[in-house]
Each structure stands twice: as structure tokens, then as C-alpha cells.
Amino acid sequence: MNKDYYKTLNINRNSSQDEIKKAFRTLSKQHHPDKGGDESVFKGLSEAYDTLSNPEKKQKYDMGGQNPFGGQHGGHNQRGGPNMDDIFNQFFNNGGGRQQQQRRQGRTLNLPLRVTLDDVFHSVVKKLKYSKNINCGVCKGAKGTTQRCPTCKGAGFVQVAMGNAFFRQIQKQQCTTCMGQGNLVITQCSGCVGKGSESLESTVDFKIPEDLMTGQHYTFKGLGDEIMGGIAGDLTIEVIIEPHREFKVRDRDLIYEPYVTILDMLLGCDIKVPYFDTELSAKIPEMSKLTASFTLRGKGLTDKHGNRRGNLVVNPTVVMPNRLDSEDRLKLEQMRQKDNFKIRK
């Protein structure tokens, strides 16, 4: 009986490659024998993933529902199935002992930045100051006179075999003798007193994007802390837009909420809108509804493509008078008696 690989991974036949990969990742963590799972279940998961993640095998399987292994041994175990360790390591260990050695990287620095809406509208340039660690100018980050670590032979990590005879993984772990440095300090550097680094006050020019939205992160590669024998970390800027004194922001639209009287809505008026370093005018027509809003097109913020602005939306807030004197009340009573102010049924 042919196996239903889609049922094995608990997905449907229209699942994308990302969905197939996600399903295998989740289920393999649960059923790997090293995690206390069942070997036969994990083997079935690996076999299903090996087929469905390969477009050519998947097409053959979808057409005939046949096991596409066909007794082939290249890249499979001797029983025709996929090499389960190879598949699992592709996700969680980058191929086990065959994984490529990655260069060490210095610490990434996070710099919070508060800007105004005016800064965003005019796309101003901010000169930001921050401190970072650079390699000591005397020992170049070595911390002093060193010798190669006898445990890891200078690699900074050791390889540890985990699992059993059937499921075996080779994992890299940081060397505990040198704490990943690869060397042991014999005599401390007189310049940095064994720290290996020194602080440097730095600056970076950050041009605020016109399409900025609060909470966005921007990364400057290589502007973080330095590290001996590796590459410098990054500088990440997290931007928060401060509340504006006049406008609220809704996506790319600016919302302006002026106070007006009920007579302004009845008789009509011109609203002066403070617009950054200038002023705009919005007209309220007579007999406008109390809930009406008015749009000045193209006066909002720039979208992410930089070729279109949002709108400026004027939402008047109607303010009732604090009191009525006798003269006002008489006039209003007279108006109420007119047919024009009566509700028509």
C-alpha cells in the first residue's frame, strides 16, 4: 500500500514548499529519537519530507502516488529511504560535521532614536553619537601574550557526538577552556589590561526616510563592536515618532481635528490648518453634517515607494456654547418655529 506523505506531514496537496518545510521542522522536533520520539515515526517523516521537498520526486509521487526512491542509494540509506540524519541536520545543524565554519562577529549595538513628525516630513539628517568597542591598539584584541588553547587547538569550539548508533549528530560547542577565544592569555596587555578592547566615541549620519513609520529598525553593517579575528557587529537604530502637537497619523494620512461651533457647520467657514512650516486652508461648506470630514489630497506622508503622498483629513469637532443668554434663546426659539428647522416626515 502506498504511503500518503501529505497525511504523514499533516498538510494538504496544495501546500507550498515553505509549508512543507515548516510541517517537517515541527514534527521532527517532536518525534526525533534523541528527544524521546519513535524511530519509525521519525523515519516516516523524513521519507515524506525527502519526497515532497524535491519538485521532481514530488511530481512523480503526485502523478502515481508511488514511492520515488526506487531502490536508489545515492543520498539514501541502503533500504532506499532518505538519510534521516542528513535531513534533520539540514534544519538544525547545517549538515553536522560538514557545516561551514562561520566567522565570529562582534556585538550588535542598539540605538533608540526619537524623532518628530516634522523630521519625517522634511527627511532631515540626524547626526547620532554612540560608543563602541574597538580592538586594543596595542594588542589588537589579543588581550596580551597568548598561546593556542590545547583543548580546541585554536578553533574556539569542540565537536561533540550526540545520539545513539542509529541517530548520530555532530554538534559544535564553545570551548570551555578558552571560552571560544581559541587562545589563552599568558601575560595581560599593558594597554587594555587584558580587556582586548577600548571604547571609541563614534558618529553616524542617519537620513530619516520620508516613509518612516514608528517602531521600524534600520541596520548599519559593521558599525558595532569589533572582535579579534572576526568581523565587526552591526549598529541597529530603532526609531520612535513622537506624538505631534496638531496631527494624528493613520497609515500615511494626517488627521487634523480642529474645534468649530455648530454655526460654523451651518453657515460654513474656512479652517486654517498649521502645516509644518506653512499653512493650508480647508473650506467647510454651509449646511455640513456634524460628522462630516474634509480631505486635502496629497498633503499627507510619503508612502514606501516614495512616489505618492497620503492625504490630510480634517475632522472638525463641534463644540456647543457654554450658555445661552435671553437674547440668544429668543432668536433660537424664533428660528425653531420656522419650517426650515422642523423635521420633515
184 touches 144 (CB < 8 A): no
pLDDT for the residue numbered 68: 46
The residue-averaged pLDDT of 317-329 equals 93
Lowest pLDDT segment from 17-21, 64-68, 102-106, 190-194: 64-68
Which cell is 172 given? 559544535
pLDDT for the residue numbered 85: 55
pLDDT for the residue numbered 34: 67
The residue-averaged pLDDT of 172-199 equals 87
Q: What is the pTM of this model?
A: 0.57
pLDDT at 32 over 70: yes
Distance in angstroms (rounded) separating the CA atoms of residues 191 and 152: 27
Q: What is the pLDDT of residues 33-44, one digit of tens each?
A: 766 678 788 888
Q: What is the pLDDT of residues 279-317, one digit of tens each?
A: 999 999 999 999 999 999 999 998 876 667 899 999 999
pLDDT for the residue numbered 111: 94
Give Cα 292 to chain centroid, integer Å.
Answer: 38
pLDDT at 324 over 70: yes
Distance in angstroms (rounded) separating the CA atoms of residues 57 and 122: 55
pLDDT at 2 over 50: yes
Average pLDDT, the chain: 84
pLDDT at 203 over 90: yes
The residue-averaged pLDDT of 83-107 equals 59
pLDDT for the residue numbered 241: 94
pLDDT for the residue numbered 284: 95
Distance in angstroms (rounded) separating the CA atoms of residues 327 and 345: 30
pLDDT for the residue numbered 102: 62
pLDDT for the residue numbered 44: 87
Q: How confident is the model at residue 92 (pLDDT cuts 50, 70, 90)?
A: low
The residue-averaged pLDDT of 266-286 equals 95
262 touches 318 (CB < 8 A): yes
The number of beta carbons lying within 10 Å of the beta carbon of residue 323 is: 6
Domains parsed from the chain with CATH numbers? 5-92 (1.10.287.110), 103-141+193-243 (2.60.260.20), 144-188 (no CATH), 247-341 (2.60.260.20)
